Chains A and B, each alone.
Chain A
Amino acid sequence: MGLNIIVCAKQVPDPEGPPSSFEINEAELKVTARGIPPVINPFDENALEAAMRIKESHEQVSITLISMGKGISKAVILKAVAVGADASLLVEGDSLDASLLDSFATARLLAAAVARAGGYDLVLCGRQAADTNAGLVGLGLAQLLGIPAITLAQKVDVAGDGVVVERVLPDGYEVVEAPLPALVTVSGEVGDLRYPSLQAIKAAKAIPQTVLGLADLDLDPSTLGRVRTVALAAPSRERRCKMVEGETPEEAGRNLVLALRQDKVI
């Protein structure tokens, strides 16, 4: 018997884009990304990398990538699939726009999608999405699927009938085990997702892909939400910066101390 891993991956505007590329529409309660490409949420990439490491060190591992959203970029998914997935499942629809769904609706819709993906032994999600930053969907999905969940993995391995996780703590990590099937949310410490070769990207077009619509899930997203955004604003962080100079860098370094002392900061 093989091991089936599902990796949930969401598309987000590149979170490392400059602040000016995130346009805040206060009236429509939406953030629109301008001039930055969509990417797979970086923590979901970490989850895929964790899946790949399991696949490398165990026999008969199969990875299914699930992505849900509005206007999913085929190129972005293809590149992720090419890294080493065996199948992909997309759930697409206008009402699946990230700004319309809260974490509660997303988890319910994803649970329905996972049920359509066939059997699974392990579900891997990123610890949080780079757009909503909420960190709720993975735990919610586990609760809805009725399987144990471990969060913030820096290392994931499968041993016998269980999953062994190193879970990140503020001052180190702890080792947690759970019987399969289980869900694990993955943190950046796992490491970056490897790059697929050009050849693999070409070949990825032949990897089986299922595309579902909202109707296939038999759920009405408008009834699933528990949290509603009522206002959106830009953060105000800017300060007046006193630039400290000197004839030489050495002098500037000294002058900084003097300026801080003069203003009674130190």
Chain B
Amino acid sequence: MADAKGIYILAELDEGLKPTSLTLELMGLGQRLASDLATDLNAVLLGSGAQAAAQELARYGTGEVLLLDEPALSGYHPEIYIEVLAGLLRSRPPLVLLAGHTSMGQDLLPRLAFALDCGLVSDCVGLRVEGEEVLFTRPVYGGNALATQRVETPTAMATVRARVGDAPSPAGTAAAVIPLEVSPPAQTRLEMKGKEVLSGRECPLEEAPVVVSGGRGMGGEEGFGQLREIAALMGGAVGASRPPVDSGWAASTCQVGITGKVVAPDIYIAVAISGSTQHLSGMSESGKIVAINKDPDAYIFKVSDYGVVGEWKQLLPSFTAALKELPKV
């Protein structure tokens, strides 16, 4: 293998073939790491019909955008993606490869790390350069502790959570987009048989400025109707802790926490949620946290900015009514 060099960002596109906000955040992080390590930043984009996205990415402080554009790369297929990426990284081994801790990142990066025998730190919430190397911070024990880790192979890989980096503002001039030859494998062992989309985008949680979540104390599906009304009034989305999802009161796509979605809205309202470490891992970076809980000693109050002690059934109707009456600012 050649000498490891440069920071590479593995870009992801949304359904409209635009770079995701997490991808742009990674560009910001990558810029910082590249400048601290005195190396360059490059973006890698796999997709189909991704020319325009590559041009857009090229405005976010990258040295170049390596574009692997090919119909076989239109959706994520683990074996095709890994073959194509492993080939690229073998010929151009980076010092650091960053990907989002997304559905794809969680599946692809471990495969890549084991295929190339590179160390990987998953689910990073912090990255910094110390001396000549990058240190990665991630939650362990369900978020009860934070471990800082170093990678002992020439190439370090990491998956990074949303809102760890800040997206840079786009520059007027764009870096070069370098289209690369792609030869996808002729055969794969995995067969993708199609997707089933649930709940018709009812919970675009990660993007919502306000998240109103219910917990086990909601006691059933009905209460979630009230949460939905509040979310609608505030321009937000409905979330849940794990028990309501397990009980079928809320869609599994609504789960917030270490094994659900990681959100950091301006306002997070936790109703009848006790504040387990696993739940906090998914929302503790929110702007303002508001808790409603009947137990004055519930841990959630310790990590909230506003709290009301009481039964949600008695509190939510007047809360909702007052929201409706609130004069616009």
* Cβ–Cβ < 8 Å partners of A177 in chain B: 190-191, 193
Q: Is B184 an interface residue (CB 8 A)?
A: no
In the complex with contacts A139-B111, A237-B280, A253-B152 CB distance below 8 A: no
CA distance A149 to B290 in the complex (A): 41
Is there a chain B Cβ closer than 8 Å to A188's Cβ? Answer: yes
A234 at the interface (CB under 8 A from B): yes
Q: State the CA gap A97–B159 with chains docked (Å).
A: 25
Closest to A16 in B: B276
Q: Mark A8-51, 1 if CB is under 8 A from B, else 0.
A: 00000101101100101000010100000000000000000000
* Complex contacts, A229 vs chain B, CB 8 Å: 147-149
Main secondary structure of the interface of A (DSSP, over half): mixed
A253-B315 contact given A131-B140, A136-B110, A143-B111, CB 8 Å threshold: yes
Which of under 10, 10 to 19, 20 to 34, or 35 or more describes the interface residues of B? 35 or more
Q: Which residues of chain B come closer than 8 Å to A151, judged between CB atoms?
A: 106-107
CA distance A103 to B284 in the complex (A): 27
Q: Is B175 an interface residue (CB 8 A)?
A: no
Q: Bound complex: CA of A243 vs CA of B301, how far in Å?
A: 9
The answer to whether B147 and A225 touch across the interface, beta carbons within 8 angstroms, is no
Pair B123/A22 contact, Cβ less than 8 Å: no
The answer for the CA separation of A201 and B198 in the assembled complex, in Å, is 39
Residue numbers in B under 8 Å from A174 (CB-CB) = 192-196
Interface residues on A, range: 35 or more
Q: Give the docked Cα–Cα distance between A158 and B58 (Å).
A: 45
Contacts of A243 in B (CB 8 A): 301, 307-309
Tell me which of A15, A150, A175, A232 contacts B147 (CB under 8 A): A232
Task: Please give me the residue from chain B that is nearest to A141 by CB atom.
Answer: B114
Residues of B within 8 A of A192 (CB): 246
The residue that B148 contacts in the complex, of A127, A182, A232, with Cβ under 8 A, is: A232
Does A211 count as interface, using CB distance less than 8 angstroms? no
Contact of A253 among B135, B199, B319, B326 (CB under 8 A): B319
Contact status A250-B318, CB under 8 Å: yes
Q: A266 contacts B326, CB within 8 Å?
A: yes
Min CB distance, B125 to chain A, in Å? 9
With A and B bound together, what is the CA distance between A240 and B147 in angstroms? 25
Whether A244 contacts B193 by the Cβ 8 Å rule is no
Q: Interface 1/0s, chain A 240-266, versus B by CB < 8 A?
A: 111111000111111111111100011
Is the C-beta of A130 less than 8 angstroms from some C-beta in chain B? yes
Q: Are A256 and B259 in contact (CB under 8 A)?
A: no
Interface flag for B217 (CB, 8 Å)? no
A127–B122 CA distance with the chains assembled, in angstroms: 13
Tell whether, in the assembled complex, residue A231 and residue B148 are in contact, meaning their CB atoms are under 8 Å apart.
yes
Query: Do B242 and A188 touch (CB < 8 A)?
Result: yes
Which residues of B in the span 31-88 have a Cβ within 8 Å of any Cβ on A?
A: 78-79
Q: Please state if B303 and A239 are interface contacts (CB–CB under 8 Å).
A: yes
Q: A72 to chain B: closest CB distance in Å?
A: 19
**Which A residues touch B114, using CB under 8 A?**
104, 107, 136, 139-140, 143-144
Question: Is there an interface contact between A257 and B319, defined as CB atoms closer than 8 Å?
Answer: yes
Q: A133-B140, A235-B143 are in contact. Are A227 and B152 (CB under 8 A)?
A: yes
Closest chain-B Cβ to A161's Cβ sits at a distance in Å of 12
Q: Are A175 and B149 in contact (CB under 8 A)?
A: no
Q: Which of A58-66, A87-95, A114-122, A164-172 contacts B (4 or more CB under 8 A)?
A: A164-172
Q: Are A230's CB and B135's CB within 8 A?
A: yes
A173→B149 contact, CB < 8 A: no
User: Are B267 and A249 in contact, with the CB atoms below 8 A?
Assistant: no
Which residues of chain B (281-312) have a CB below 8 Å from chain A?
Answer: 284, 288-292, 299, 301-311
Is residue B252 contacting chain A, with contact meaning CB distance below 8 A? Answer: yes
Say yes or no: B317 contacts A250, CB within 8 Å.
yes
Specify which of A144, A243, A261 lies most central, judged by the most chain B CB atoms within 10 Å of its CB: A243
Interchain residue pairs with CB less than 8 A apart (28): A22-B144, A130-B142, A135-B123, A139-B110, A140-B110, A143-B114, A148-B189, A149-B111, A169-B103, A171-B253, A174-B193, A174-B195, A178-B191, A227-B121, A227-B150, A229-B149, A235-B139, A235-B144, A235-B284, A237-B303, A241-B304, A242-B306, A243-B307, A252-B315, A253-B318, A253-B319, A260-B306, A266-B323
